[in-house]
């Protein structure tokens, strides 16, 4: 919508732009996946270091918090991209 509406490309330009956007969408997706993996590893490291300190009830709450975080990530992955609507047709 926004991006295409603003520049109003012809069909030939749209095809070239689509190739560029698709290439960068793939790269951005890979970057996000790598970031999530690294963030998860860091979060697990924090939990391992803290893990023996909290009481069982506190550990349960930490696990619930992590489960909610993971669910939020899964839900965002299912949603259509709303982050850059200006690039949508």
User: What is the pTM assigned to this prediction?
Assistant: 0.48
CA neighbours closer than 13 Å in the CB half-sphere of residue 72:
7
Rounded to whole angstroms, the Cα distance separating 12 from 57 reads: 61
pLDDT confidence bin for 15, thresholds 50/70/90 = very high
The tokens of 6 are what? 């603003």
CA 75-79-85 angle, 5° bins: 140
Res. 89: pLDDT tops 80: no
What pLDDT was estimated at residue 80? Answer: 56
Rounded to whole angstroms, the Cα distance separating 71 from 73 reads: 5
**Residue extents of the structural domains in the chain:** 2-87
Q: For residue range 55-69, what is the model confidence (pLDDT) as tens digits?
A: 777 878 878 888 898
């Amino acid at each position: 919508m926004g991006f295409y509406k603003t520049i109003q490309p012809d069909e030939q330009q749209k095809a070239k732009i689509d190739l560029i956007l698709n290439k960068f969408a793939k790269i951005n997706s890979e970057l996000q996946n790598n970031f999530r993996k690294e963030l998860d590893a860091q979060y697990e490291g924090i939990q391992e270091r803290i893990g023996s300190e909290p009481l069982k009830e506190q550990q349960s709450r930490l696990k619930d918090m992590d489960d909610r975080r993971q669910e939020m990530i899964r839900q965002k992955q299912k949603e259509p991209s709303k982050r850059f609507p200006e690039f949508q047709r």
